Amino acid sequence: MLISRHKVASIHYTLTDDSGKVLDSSSGREPLAYLHGEGNLIPGMEEGLEGRKKGDKFKLHITPEKGYGVKDPAMVQKVPRAAFGDQKIEKGMQFRTQHGQVVTVTETGLTEITVDGNHPLADVALNFDVEVMEVREATAEEVAHGHVHGPGGHHH
Ligand code: ZN
């Protein structure tokens, strides 16, 4: 069975950046199960997995455009330090804004704090080592929900 729209695929993967640093891996965990063709994975992953079958092992190089996007400079903002009150602010800290957006502190100045609302992997080229562990038909309920149920997927 080949991976195509509304098949459920289970994959093991290791994600590295172009310097070889491991950013994420399913190693030591259950494989990642997802419903194909519903945008559950980044576009470059879904494209690279299309037509693959159980047992296939391959590498994918994914540009930021097909990954987590390119950085939007408008999402980098300077905020007066006073807005954080007495809180100690350090580079790398993350906050959720009142709009629910997650921002990361990228610079701390005396009077201003710079926060970045871009995805942490925006502008990063992604290298995936992938192994397809299983491919099956999705259930009608999974198709209706647009995501996987059961092991490796959503539980609800
Ligand atoms: Zn569901």
Measured CA to CA, the distance from residue 148 to residue 137 in angstroms comes to: 11
CA atoms of 19 and 125, how far apart (whole Å) = 10
10 CA distance to ligand 1 centroid (A)?
A: 17
Q: Kindly write down the DSSP assignment for every residue of 38-94, as one continuous string.
A: TT-S-HHHHHHHTT-BTT-EEEEEE-GGGTT----GGGEEEEEGGGGTT----TT-E
**In this structure, which residues have their CB less than 5 angstroms from ion ligand 1?**
145
Please give the domain boundaries of the chain with CATH numbers for all domains.
7-68+122-145 (3.10.50.40), 73-116 (2.40.10.330)
Q: Rounded to the nearest whole angstrom, what is the distance from the C-alpha of residue 4 to the centroid of ligand 1?
A: 19
Taking the centre of ligand 1 as the mean of its atom positions, its distance from the CA of residue 145, in whole angstroms, is: 5
Phi-psi region of 146 (alpha: psi -120 to 50; beta: other; left: phi over 0): left
Strand partners, 53: 2
Q: In angstroms, what is the span from residue 38 Cα to ligand 1's centroid?
A: 13
- Contacts of residue 28, defined as CB under 8 A and 6 or more positions apart, other chains included, come to none
Per-residue pLDDT of the chain (156 residues; tens, 9 = 90+): 999 999 999 999 999 999 999 999 999 999 999 999 999 999 999 999 999 999 999 999 999 999 999 999 999 999 999 988 888 999 999 988 888 888 999 999 999 999 999 998 999 999 999 999 999 999 999 999 999 998 666 655
Q: How far is the CA of 46 from the centre of ligand 1 (A)?
A: 20
pTM: 0.81
Nearest-angstrom CA–CA distance, 156 and 117: 30
Dihedral sign, Cα of residue 22, residue 122, residue 112, residue 99:
negative
